[in-house]
Amino acid sequence: MLVDLVRVTTADGVRLDGALRVPPESLAALRSAAVPLPIDAAILVHGTGGSFYSSTMFEAIADRLLQLGAAVLTINTRGHDGVSTAVTLEGPRRSGAAYEVVDHCRHDLRAWLDFLVERGYGRIGLIGHSLGAVKAIYAQARQAHAAVDRLVAISPPRLSHSHFAASPKGPQFLADVAAAESLQHEGRGESLMDVRFPLPYLVTANGYLDKYGPDERYNILKHLAQIACPTLLIFGEEEVASNVAFAGLPDACRTLLNAELVVAASGGTNAVGS
């Protein structure tokens, strides 16, 4: 199956790349008649430091969606790769997971959604993994796009300052926060830090505080209730048991949404649907 390499420019002037796969017309028509899908296209959103060309976990999902007759668009957000150089209308700019501001995902996802709408797709599934799942939830809650018909969030972490601070690794987390605040106070907010919690990666002091600061701008528990379209949250049993970013989160989501929690023993996952 052919893949089209595609490109958009966001409203704030950042160029992003992606890959579009479209099922053959005969297959799409056959599947639409036999197994009607609620969506005609899906956007797959990578996690921290991922990209449209490296997020291998989406391969099986993409193949299945294509078999069912839906087009699949795998995208970059401006947080792709660890460190990258963004092409913007104002010239090159440092970007990637190390430099991103998560709020800017609103521009990224809207540009890609508009791209599909311009090509005739009107019932779009937004599927994100890890930070990509947080971005999908945040963007749709803050600035809902009318073409989004379904949202699937795979392993969205709880980006919560208070939750992390109260965890067994709280002292390590608060030390990193204090170091980031010190750099920011010195006017060195764009300095890179080698952090270890909640995951090991390079990130600027500004970026660390944006994601994990006390404002908790991206705590999904603040945004889930504002999403109008049918939403599926998927968590792995092992990550819930061993990773503080997921501990207690399926139950918290179920309580918040008054939704059903399904535990799949064979698959090792927890799913919350609303």
- Outline where 221-263 has alpha helix (H): 237-242, 249-257
Give the pLDDT score at 33. Answer: 55
Please list, in sequence order, all residues whose beta carbon lies within 8 angstroms of the beta carbon of residue 186, skipping any fewer than 6 positions away: none
Per-residue pLDDT of the chain (274 residues; tens, 9 = 90+): 689 999 999 999 999 999 999 998 755 555 555 567 899 999 999 999 999 998 788 999 999 999 999 999 999 999 999 999 999 989 999 999 999 999 999 999 999 999 999 999 999 999 999 999 999 999 999 999 999 999 999 999 999 999 999 999 999 999 999 999 999 999 999 999 999 999 899 999 999 999 999 999 999 999 999 999 999 999 998 999 999 999 999 999 999 887 666 655 445 556 565 5
User: CA-CA distance, 117 to 120, in Å (whole number)?
Assistant: 5
- Outline where the chain has alpha helix (H): 25-34, 59-67, 105-118, 131-142, 161-165, 170-185, 205-212, 237-242, 249-257
Residue burial 207-222, b: 16+ Cβ < 10 Å; e: rest: bbbbbbbeebbbbbbb
Nearest 10 degrees: CA dihedral of 217, 97, 109, 107?
70
Give the pLDDT score at 269. Answer: 59
Domain ranges, ordered by start, for the chain: 4-159+217-229, 161-215
Q: What is the pTM of this model?
A: 0.93
Residue 53, number of CB atoms within 10 A of its CB: 15
Q: Which option is the CATH number for 4-159+217-229: 3.40.50.300, 3.30.930.10, 3.10.129.10, 3.40.50.1820?
A: 3.40.50.1820
